[in-house]
């Protein structure tokens, strides 16, 4: 910083020295060309040009160009930042999209797996229930057959008893005086045995 | 108005204000004249038009602010950045002012203010300031001084940083250092022999470049105005011929001259902008060439 300050102090001296060197030929040139055909001008116009330009530079430099350039830079930086943010967000969005796609694919695969498992399980359950139902129906059929068989036997037995009793009663009425009780019983039993023999081949 | 003038180039010449021009041993010094007043007018118009728009910051620029921003961005992107690279922002105020000032002076020459103000009872104001060598020379001198001052500053800074020499001493010997830095480095005895001629040649090169700046702007503005003046003088002659001698032979050229003059005026408008751009761009290039650290 001190070096820069020293340099700043030295700059006006250098400018003054160089201006003096440059003004001398300029003055001679102005004096020579004042009466010529080409519009040369004079020293006063040259000095006035420099002064007016420097004043305009000072005014516009401080109150126009500096704020405008600063605002332009601020706006350009803002636009660049916005573009950068937009690009970053686009990148993030693309990454998120890829991630979501992966998750969606994984979820779809998982759902398919779960569905497949559920179907397999449902099929297993169906098979199991069908087996049980078949066993149950078979058991019910068997027990019904046994019950029917038993009912048949009971009915037949009751029929034998009733028939025997009826036959005895009928025979007793017809042969009440010729048959003794022992003969009567023997005849009835023989008759029953014959009936049973006749019935058994039909049942088999 | 030009038709009435005795000298067709009268509108280019400076008209000193009464009592504000001195002659001393063949040397003329003008304190105030129509052209100086025109330059002041240009500066006032530029400041009046630009300053109000600089204050208001708008996220989306509108109206005049847009024009000012286009100007600044144009000078920055088309002139400062290509010529000065990373130092573009340092010289941007100088280059913007230079462009506006030269453009204003060129354009003011298109308006015949010098004929209007005396009618209003005002002293003469107007003309084409860039149509005289003193003004373009002064503008080129500003570029030359920028090159020299920045070159000296850079030479002094390099001396102080590289050789650990006190800054005051570096500033004192900076002209020699800068002149030496202008010459290309040639090894051996040949380099030593050629050092002084090369320094002289390079310094003359700097002067020649700035001189070319001065002449280019002056010649372009003068040429356009001269051609316009000659054409209008022809028109005047045609009118005189028609009215005094009842001769129609020259009268036929009148419409052609008027159309050509209008076209030339439009071309002059274009030339005014192009010359302002070229002057600013070449100034930026020379500054970048001689004052930039990379040189």
Strand pairing class (B21-24; B27-30): antiparallel
Q: Give the residue from B267, B294, B285 showing the smallest Cα distance to B106.
A: B267
pLDDT tens track for B165-188: 888 888 888 888 888 888 888 888
A1 CA to centre of own chain: 64
**Quick check: is A180 in a domain?**
yes
Whether the predicted pLDDT of B2 surpasses 50: no
What Cα–Cα distance (Å) separates residue A119 from each residue in A75, A81, A106, A112, A134?
Answer: 63, 55, 20, 10, 22
- The answer to whether B282 and B142 are in contact (CB under 8 A) is no
Query: Which residues of chain B have a CB within 8 Å of the CB of A41?
Result: 14, 35, 132-135, 137
Q: Does B132 touch chain A (CB under 8 A)?
A: yes
B218 CA to centre of own chain: 8
Q: Give the residue from A27, A26, A58 showing the smallest Cα distance to B140.
A: A26
The three-state (H, E, C) secondary structure of chain B, written as one string: CCCCCCCCCHHHCCCECCCCEEEECCEEEECCEHHHHHHHHHHHHHHHHHHHHHHCCCCCCCCHHHHHHHHHHHHHHHHHHHHHHHHHHHHHHHHHHHHHHHHHHHHHCCCCHHHHHHHCCCCCCCCCHHHCHHHHHHHHHHHHHHHHHHHHHHHHHHHHHHHCCCHHHHHHHHHHHHHHHHCCCCCHHHHHHHHHHHHHHHHHHHHHHHHHHHHHHHHHHHHHHHHHHHHHHHHHHHHHHHHHHCCCCCCCHHHHHHHHHHHHHHHHHHHHHHHHHHHHHHHHHHHHHHHCCCC
- pLDDT of A25 reads 42
Query: Which of B133, B156, B211, B220 is the best residue to mutate to test the A interface, defined by the most A CB atoms within 10 Å of its own CB?
Result: B133
Q: Give the residue from B49, B21, B218, B14 showing the smallest Cα distance to B125.
A: B14
- pLDDT of A18 reads 45
- Interchain proximity B40–A41, CB inside 8 Å: no
DSSP annotation of A178: T
Query: Which residues of chain B have a CB within 8 Å of the CB of A43?
Result: 27-29, 134
Half-sphere exposure in the Cβ direction for B108 (13 Å, CA)? 29
User: What pLDDT band is residue A166 in, cutting at 50, 70 and 90?
Assistant: confident
pLDDT tens track for A51-91: 999 999 999 999 999 989 988 888 889 999 999 999 999 99
Q: Give the residue from B131, B128, B122 showing the smallest Cα distance to B38.
A: B128
The more confidently predicted of residues A183 and B201 is B201
pLDDT tens track for B258-291: 888 888 889 889 999 999 999 999 999 999 888 6
Q: Does B29 touch chain A (CB under 8 A)?
A: yes
**Quick check: is A156 in a domain?**
yes
- pLDDT of B25 reads 78
- Mean of pLDDT values over A166-189: 75
pLDDT tens track for B199-256: 999 899 999 999 999 999 999 988 888 888 888 888 877 777 777 777 666 667 778 8
Residue B6, phi then psi, degrees to nearest 5: -75, -40
- Interchain proximity B149–A14, CB inside 8 Å: yes
- pLDDT of B82 reads 92
**Quick check: is A65 in a domain?**
no
Q: Does B137 touch chain A (CB under 8 A)?
A: yes
- Mean of pLDDT values over B76-98: 92
User: What pLDDT band is residue A123 in, cutting at 50, 70 and 90?
Assistant: very high
- Mean of pLDDT values over B8-36: 79
Query: CA-to-CA distance for B11 and B229, rounded, in angstroms?
Result: 9
**Quick check: is A191 in a domain?**
yes
- pLDDT of A117 reads 95
Element (H, E) at A179: none
Query: How many Cβ pairs closer than 8 A exist between chain A and B?
Result: 176
- Mean of pLDDT values over A112-127: 94
- pLDDT of A32 reads 42
- pLDDT of A127 reads 94
- pLDDT of A20 reads 43
Share of chain B above pLDDT 90, in %: 35
pLDDT tens track for A22-55: 443 444 444 444 444 677 888 888 999 999 999 9
- The answer to whether A56 and B97 are in contact (CB under 8 A) is yes
Query: CA-to-CA distance for B249 and B237, rounded, in angstroms?
Result: 11
Nearest CA in chain B to A40: B133
User: What pLDDT band is residue A14 in, cutting at 50, 70 and 90?
Assistant: very low
**Quick check: is A113 in a domain?**
no
Whether the predicted pLDDT of A149 surpasses 50: yes
Q: Is A188 helix (H, G, I), strand (E, B) or coil?
A: helix
Q: Give the residue from B284, B278, B287, B122 showing the smallest Cα distance to B215.
A: B278
Nearest 10 degrees: Cα torsion A87, A93, A95, A96: 160
- The answer to whether B35 and B127 are in contact (CB under 8 A) is yes
Query: Which residues of chain A have a CB within 8 Å of the CB of B145?
Result: 15, 18-19, 22
Task: Name every residue whose Cβ is closer than 8 Å to that of residue A161 and which is 6 or more positions away in sequence.
Answer: none
- pLDDT of B235 reads 80
- The answer to whether B30 and A42 are in contact (CB under 8 A) is yes
Query: Which of B20, B54, B77, B87 is the best residue to mutate to test the A interface, defined by the most A CB atoms within 10 Å of its own CB?
Result: B54
Distance from CA of A41 to the nearest CA of B (A): 5
Q: A35-74 burial string, b = 16+ CB within 10 Å, else e? A: eeeebbbbbbbbbbbbebbeebbebbbeebbeebbebbee
Element (H, E) at A145: helix A66-174
Maximum distance among all Cα pairs of chain B, rounded to whole angstroms: 86
- The answer to whether B89 and B101 are in contact (CB under 8 A) is no
pLDDT tens track for B187-203: 888 888 888 899 999 89
> Of A165-174, B27-36, B98-107, B239-248, which has the strongest mean pLDDT?
B98-107
Q: Kindly list the domain boundaries of chain B, sorted by start residue.
A: 10-291
| Burial grade of B135 (CB within 10 A; 0-12, 13-18, 19 or more) | buried
Interface of B with A in 166-185 (CB under 8 A): 167-168, 171, 174-175
Query: Which residues of chain B have a CB within 8 Å of the CB of A7?
Result: 153, 156-157, 167, 171
Q: Does B60 touch chain A (CB under 8 A)?
A: no
Q: What is the DSSP string of A17-69?
A: HHHHHHHHHHHHHHHHHTTSSS----HHHHHHHHHHHHHHHHHHIIIIIHHHH
**Quick check: is A103 in a domain?**
no
Domain extent for A147: 143-203
Q: Domains in chain A: how many in total?
A: 1
- Interchain proximity B21–A44, CB inside 8 Å: yes
pLDDT tens track for B145-160: 999 998 898 888 888 8
**Quick check: is A69 in a domain?**
no
- pLDDT of A7 reads 45
Cα angle, residue A152 at apex, residues A146 and A154 outer, rounded to 5°: 105
- pLDDT of A177 reads 58
- Interchain proximity A45–B152, CB inside 8 Å: no
**Quick check: is A175 in a domain?**
yes
- pLDDT of B11 reads 64
pLDDT tens track for B36-56: 999 999 999 999 999 988 876
When mean pLDDT is compared across A150-159, A168-177, B191-200, the lowest value belongs to: A168-177
- Interchain proximity B141–A43, CB inside 8 Å: no
What Cα–Cα distance (Å) separates residue B98 from each residue in A89, B21, B72?
Answer: 43, 27, 12
Long-range contacts of A164-168 (CB under 8 A, 24+ apart): A164/A188, A164/A191, A164/A192, A167/A191
């Amino acid at each position: 910083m001190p070096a820069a300050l020293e340099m700043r102090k030295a700059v006006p001296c250098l400018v003054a020295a160089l201006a003096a060197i440059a003004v001398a030929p300029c003055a001679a040139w102005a004096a020579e060309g004042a009466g010529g055909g080409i519009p040369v001008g004079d020293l006063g116009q040259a000095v006035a040009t420099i002064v007016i330009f420097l004043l305009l530079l000072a005014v516009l430099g401080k109150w126009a160009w500096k704020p405008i350039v600063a605002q332009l830079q601020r706006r350009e930086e803002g636009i660049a930042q916005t573009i950068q943010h937009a690009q970053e967000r686009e990148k993030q969005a693309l990454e998120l999209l890829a991630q979501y796609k992966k998750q969606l694919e994984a979820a779809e695969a998982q759902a398919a797996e779960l569905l497949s498992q559920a179907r397999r399980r449902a099929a297993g359950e169906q098979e199991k229930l069908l087996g049980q139902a078949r066993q149950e129906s078979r058991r019910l059929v068997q027990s019904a057959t046994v019950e029917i068989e038993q009912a048949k036997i009971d009915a037949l037995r009751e029929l034998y008893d009733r028939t025997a009793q009826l036959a005895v009663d009928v025979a007793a009425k017809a042969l009440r005086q010729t048959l003794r009780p022992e003969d009567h019983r023997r005849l009835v039993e023989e008759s029953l045995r014959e009936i049973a023999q006749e019935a058994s081949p039909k049942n088999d | 108005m030009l038709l009435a003038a005795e000298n067709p180039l009268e509108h280019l010449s400076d008209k000193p204000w009464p009592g504000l021009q001195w002659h001393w041993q063949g040397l003329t010094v003008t304190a105030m004249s129509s052209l100086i007043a025109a330059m002041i007018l240009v500066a006032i118009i530029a400041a009046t038009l630009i300053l109000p728009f600089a204050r208001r910051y708008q996220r989306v620029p509108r109206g005049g602010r847009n024009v000012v921003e286009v100007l600044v961005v144009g000078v920055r992107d088309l002139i400062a950045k290509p010529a000065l690279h990373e130092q573009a922002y340092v010289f941007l105020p100088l280059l913007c002012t230079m462009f506006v000032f030269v453009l204003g002076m060129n354009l003011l020459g298109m308006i015949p203010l010098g004929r209007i103000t005396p009618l209003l009872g005002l002293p003469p104001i107007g003309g084409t300031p860039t149509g005289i060598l003193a003004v373009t020379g002064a503008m080129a001198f500003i570029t030359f001084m920028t090159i020299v001052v920045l070159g000296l500053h850079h030479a002094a800074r390099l001396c102080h940083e590289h050789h650990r020499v006190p800054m005051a001493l570096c500033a004192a010997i900076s002209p020699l250092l800068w002149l030496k830095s202008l010459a290309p480095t040639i090894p051996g005895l040949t380099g030593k022999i050629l050092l002084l001629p090369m320094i002289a040649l390079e310094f003359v090169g700097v002067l020649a470049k700035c001189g070319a700046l001065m002449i280019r702007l002056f010649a372009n503005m003068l040429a356009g105005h001269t051609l316009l003046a000659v054409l209008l003088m022809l028109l005047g002659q045609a009118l005189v011929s028609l009215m005094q001698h009842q001769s129609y032979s020259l009268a036929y050229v009148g419409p052609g001259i008027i159309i050509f003059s209008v076209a030339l005026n439009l071309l002059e408008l274009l030339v005014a902008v192009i010359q302002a751009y070229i002057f600013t761009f070449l100034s930026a290039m020379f500054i970048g060439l001689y004052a930039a650290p990379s040189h």
